[in-house]
Amino acid sequence: MRSNRIITGDATEQLKKLPDAIAQVVIADPPYFNVLTAQDWDTQWPAVEDYLRWSEAWVSECMRVLREDGLCFIFGQPGKREHAFLHLMSALCRKHQFHDLLIWDRVVGYNERRDSFTPAYEMILVLRKGDPKFNKDAVREPYSPEKIQTYLRDKRYKDRDARMRHLLAGKYATNLLRVPSLKGSSKEKCGHPSQKPIDLIAKLIACSTDAGDLVLDPFLGSGTSAVVAESFGRQWLGIELNPLYVEVSQSRIASTGDVHQAKGFLSA
């Protein structure tokens, strides 16, 4: 199967053509259902039941295509008052193996509400098939210099060099991923209304894959997963229905060298 390419077409139909157990990770950021109400692709289902049926079909295909030691990340958010993702999570966890529920803290709130807290997070449901590969060291977070100095003053640790090595390695990341969403003025922004930050997708790919593994994104959008996979030396395969977004992705992927340098991805 040829990788590092975008397939223009419908996710479910195209997934059906892929062989079993080829993807190490699936990064799926599908239409949310009536959250981005200005986008035809987010409002194409007459009722929530239609959206749930559609979602269960493509997720089943993704799980078939996933390797036994792989992970499937599925984005979703409640939006203003829309609760489709809550029902979807419940349905998927009954059918597939639950692995984790990540919270993406977007730092900046969105959808200002008069009568409630301002929403500031999205959810990422993680499904597994068997015993997954997971590299916790790849997503460690650095301690601040001040924290390092404070911890070094702790008298309980006799071996200062060993303590220093441990502190410089950073701490294990929690399942609350704090990555600012992209502002309109961000250099990364390329015109897609639901473009995810490279730093967020990088965490998902870094923890779940090794060099050479295949990253599959059935809703590629502006190509963020492909850009990260390319930068990390992973194989990738993207599916996207809208030919305009396919063009955007292709031009972003063609300039991944710049991203690679800017983000210092060499260590991943």
Ligand X SMILES: C[S@@+](CC[C@H](N)C(=O)[O-])C[C@H]1O[C@@H](n2cnc3c(N)ncnc32)[C@H](O)[C@@H]1O
Residues that bind ligand X (CB under 6 A): 10-11, 29-31, 41, 192, 194-196, 219, 221-222, 224, 239-242, 245
Cα dihedral 81, 194, 228, 210, rounded to 10, equals 30
Nearer CB in complex with ligand X: 3/242? 242
Nearer CB in complex with ligand X: 125/167? 125
Q: By beta-carbon distance, which residue lies closest to ligand X?
A: 221
Q: How far is the CB of 105 from ligand X (least distance, A)?
A: 17
Nearer CB in complex with ligand X: 213/240? 240
Rounded Cα distance between 207 and 139, Å, is: 6
Q: How far is the CB of 181 from ligand X (least distance, A)?
A: 11
CB 201 within 8 A of CB 230: no
Q: How far is the CB of 239 from ligand X (least distance, A)?
A: 5
Q: How far is the CB of 190 from ligand X (least distance, A)?
A: 8
Nearer CB in complex with ligand X: 152/244? 244
Nearer CB in complex with ligand X: 31/132? 31
* Strand order from edge to edge, sheet including 23-28: 5-8, 235-240, 214-217, 23-28, 66-76, 121-128, 97-105, 176-178
Rounded Cα distance between 182 and 192, Å, is: 11
Q: How far is the CB of 41 from ligand X (least distance, A)?
A: 4
The first and second tokens of residue 79, run together, are 């939006």
Q: How far is the CB of 37 from ligand X (least distance, A)?
A: 14
The first and second tokens of residue 176, run together, are 């609350």
Q: Which residues pair with 128 in a beta bridge?
A: 71, 97
Q: How many degrees, rounded to 5, is the angle at CA 48 between CA 180 and CA 13?
A: 80
Nearer CB in complex with ligand X: 116/255? 255
CB 221 within 8 A of CB 245: yes
